A and B are shown apart, each in its own frame.
Chain A
């Protein structure tokens, strides 16, 4: 309960800061629009050449892409400060300032910037894509069911993103900086916005078993669009598993942390 109150308060602080850093916000927004614009354009181009890809048509892929953007946006809205851990907090020793407070360090790191406004753009755009494509193509499950499971699946997807970010960020405790690894994982997560059938067997298995990005959008989309429930049931398990690994690495790393300098 205490953490909920603190989170609320720190959200307010973050919003307050947003006003002060409007330029930051605008740059973030433009960058994001460019990136997503390219993704949507790519899908558009592919489907102007072929009518369907491995049984997925244009609107279905848009739905999948939208779902991926939505889950990623939800994660980004709250936890993107984890990038700082892999980037410089461990390397420079500045992580100490989260360890001298009577609150969990992980919470403090994340809460230092709790509210990433450019993520609002992603969430909005993801929603638009999902609703637009979903209404055009029709769902494979009853709408009432989708209204309940959809948000839960977005949450699971967001937690998978968070978990992977936590795992890769925590590696910095052993390697002093893990920014390249985080970046790599982030690149791989882009694969989650397209049908898995597009990829070779190795990448496919990796997206299920190693970095389970398949659970962020692909399996949920298959369930929502085609009514295939077998894999999607494992979404919460996948999210819990990655988070568990991440939290274990984080606390083990924190214990062996050696603050450098001074």
Chain B
């Protein structure tokens, strides 16, 4: 459904001198350097896939999305969405796509949300049955009626994002590109948004490409991940695998040994060499151990052996730190 073939985007940035003298010199003698925002990225996503495209700020995520949505033309390489190069035939490609850029609005700034929707209905020639069905859905899940006839520019960020998300799905697109879609939403609405896209994916087979810094979004919506760093894909796999690549895992526990905090920490470090221990705010202890050196059973039995454990909890590996580790590795390796 979505294919990128050695996709490259370079930006030219002019080197400006500083101050008045530098500024004047720039006027007459412009030198520029090229920056590769996207560096030979290739991937293929099947129809109905739900993929998270993740990376640090400036990793080239948004640039890639802009090429996939046809807003920018690649410097070299190409990408295909539903078999077409979107930047070559933008209007045709747009029919199949729904887009959200969380940082920007795509709605009509001084019209109300219902007016915007009416325009979209005309632009995409949305059949009446589809339009009504989707409106019903948004009423139920996003409480879209609560936005009333307020012009979009007067909506709060959370209200506006609800409208943006609904607008991106209104025409039942086959592919959805969501760039930071849950910015400014509270937990309940995030939940609804995730449900909405999962629903579209299940019922219509909508393909989803999501970029987000919200690990909750990624685990709730997506089943696969592409991790980019400095314009290159440095990791691909399922979300589950990603969690499995965690090089460090943790255990939280409490005990009634009659030991002081310092003594406890020292004991943990000595029985589980290579691990880090710290005291939590609630008085429990946190152990971060290298997953290569110990299995979780092993850690638990060691702890049970050395402490009178009263409470024990092994949280899911923290994807954020996993991703951070991958960035770190990517920087070194490539």
Closest to B151 in A: A20
Q: Are A17 and B111 in contact (CB under 8 A)?
A: yes
**CB-contacts of A76-112 with B (<8 A):** 93-94, 96-97, 99-105, 112
Chain B residues contacting A32 (CB-CB under 8 Å) are none
Name B's interface SS.
mixed
**CB-contacts of A233-262 with B (<8 A):** 255-259, 261-262
Q: Are A97 and B110 in contact (CB under 8 A)?
A: no
From A17, A105, A259, give the contact of B66 (CB < 8 A): A259
> Which of B19-27, B48-56, B117-125, B270-278 is found at the contact surface with chain A?
B117-125
Q: Are B69 and A100 in contact (CB under 8 A)?
A: yes
From A102, A112, A258, A262, give the contact of B101 (CB < 8 A): A262
Q: Are B106 and A100 in contact (CB under 8 A)?
A: yes
* B321 interfacial by beta-carbon distance below 8 Å: no
From A17, A93, A99, give the contact of B90 (CB < 8 A): A99
Compute how far the CA of A101 lies from the CA of B119 in the bound complex, rounded to whole angstroms: 11
Chain B residues contacting A105 (CB-CB under 8 Å) are 90
Chain B residues contacting A259 (CB-CB under 8 Å) are 66, 71-72
Chain A residues contacting B95 (CB-CB under 8 Å) are 102
Compute how far the CA of A10 lies from the CA of B99 in the bound complex, rounded to whole angstroms: 22
Distance in angstroms from A194 CB to nearest chain B CB is 36
Q: How many A-B residue pairs have CB under 8 A?
A: 70
Q: Interface size on A (CB < 8 Å)?
A: 27
Q: Are B70 and A94 in contact (CB under 8 A)?
A: no
Q: Are A261 and B103 in contact (CB under 8 A)?
A: yes
Compute how far the CA of A195 lies from the CA of B102 in the bound complex, rounded to whole angstroms: 53
Closest to A9 in B: B122
**CB-contacts of B73-124 with A (<8 A):** 73, 87, 90-92, 94-95, 97, 99, 101-108, 110-111, 115, 118-119, 122-124
* B172 interfacial by beta-carbon distance below 8 Å: no
Q: Which 3 A-B pairs have the closest CB atoms?
A: A262-B103, A97-B106, A102-B94
Taking Cβ atoms with an 8 Å cutoff, the residues of B that contact A are 11, 62, 66, 69-73, 87, 90-92, 94-95, 97, 99, 101-108, 110-111, 115, 118-119, 122-124, 151, 179-180
